[in-house]
Structures are given as structure tokens and as C-alpha cells.
């Protein structure tokens, strides 16, 4: 966990009820739990940490830009082909929201409608870590597609 993620997590934990905070910390690796426990304790010692404060700080840290670099458009189309409409919409929202129309133009009308419906239900901005993880998965899928194509050309 990078320092910014740790600070944001500690802030969120500090705003939680004691039992909720303990439940989450028990599920983390020991070193991360110790770090976050210490940081959230320090934050609580400075005063009340409210959900409104957490939301305000999170918005300040989030510039609203696209967080993850998508694969090139043709490769992205291939990577999305076998995904469910929900996961295709999630991948587009995470790393290429401006590619939705291009994607919809290259699939069946039924699939385009399903992906659009899922896309519209997703938040405008996904958490950065989640967006990066989805983008990395799309890159991995394009690499796998490349390997399959190269193997079939041999």
C-alpha cells in the first residue's frame, strides 16, 4: 500500500465505529493492520473524524481524471469481447469511458444496449486502485490475445 492509500484508508478507518474498524483490521495482513491502526489512532486523537470530513478529503485527493491507461482501441475491443456486459462496462468506465460509443458500434445491438445499461449504473469515477487493477487486467487480456494469435500464426 502506498503512503497516500495508507493515509486515505486510515482516515476512513478513523471515522468508523470501533467494532467495524476492528473487524476490518483483523482481516488485513499484520503489518498493514498495525500501520493503519497507528495512523487512525493518531487521527482520532486530533479530534472527531466524521464521514463528511472523510468524503471532503477523498474528493480533494481525487482529481477526477481517467486513472488508468487503456490498451490501444483495437486491442481493447478484443479484450472486452468475451466479458459479461457488466465487466465490459466496468473496464470501459475504469480506463476508457470515452470508448463506449466505439465499443457499442463494434458489437451486436443487444450487447451494446446491455453494456450501456451497465455503464450507466456505474459511478462516474471508480476508485483509483480499482481502476488501475481493471486496466491491468485489460492489458493482460490483450497480451494473452497476442500470444494466442502468434501461436496460431506459427
Kindly report, residue by residue over 40-76, the tens digit of the pLDDT: 999 889 888 888 888 777 765 655 444 467 778 888 8
pTM of the predicted model as reported, rounded to 2 decimal places: 0.53
Kindly report, residue by residue over 38-48, the tens digit of the pLDDT: 999 998 898 88
- From CA 45, how far away is CA 132, in angstroms rounded? 33
Kindly report, residue by residue over 97-110, the tens digit of the pLDDT: 889 999 999 999 99
Residue 66 is predicted with a pLDDT of: 45
Residue 47 is predicted with a pLDDT of: 85
Give per-residue burial for 28-58: e unless 16+ CB within 10 Å, then b.
Answer: eeeeebebbbebbeebbeeeebeeeebeeee
Q: Which residue has the higher pLDDT, 154 or 100?
A: 100
Amino acid at each position: 500500500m502506498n503512503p497516500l492509500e495508507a493515509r486515505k484508508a486510515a482516515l476512513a478507518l478513523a471515522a468508523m465505529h470501533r467494532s467495524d474498524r476492528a473487524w476490518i483490521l483483523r482481516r488485513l495482513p499484520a503489518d498493514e493492520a498495525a500501520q493503519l491502526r497507528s495512523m487512525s489512532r493518531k487521527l482520532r486523537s486530533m479530534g472527531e473524524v466524521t464521514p463528511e470530513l472523510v468524503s471532503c478529503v477523498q474528493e480533494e485527493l481525487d482529481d477526477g481524471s481517467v486513472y488508468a491507461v487503456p490498451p490501444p482501441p483495437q486491442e481493447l475491443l478484443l479484450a472486452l469481447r468475451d466479458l459479461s456486459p457488466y465487466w465490459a462496462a466496468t473496464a470501459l468506465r475504469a480506463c476508457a469511458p470515452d470508448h463506449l460509443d466505439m465499443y457499442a458500434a463494434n458489437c451486436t445491438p443487444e450487447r451494446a444496449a446491455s453494456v450501456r445499461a451497465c455503464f450507466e449504473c456505474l459511478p462516474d469515477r471508480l476508485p483509483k486502485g480499482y481502476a488501475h487493477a481493471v486496466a491491468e487486467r485489460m492489458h493482460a487480456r490483450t497480451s494473452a490475445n497476442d500470444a494466442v494469435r502468434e501461436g496460431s500464426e506459427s
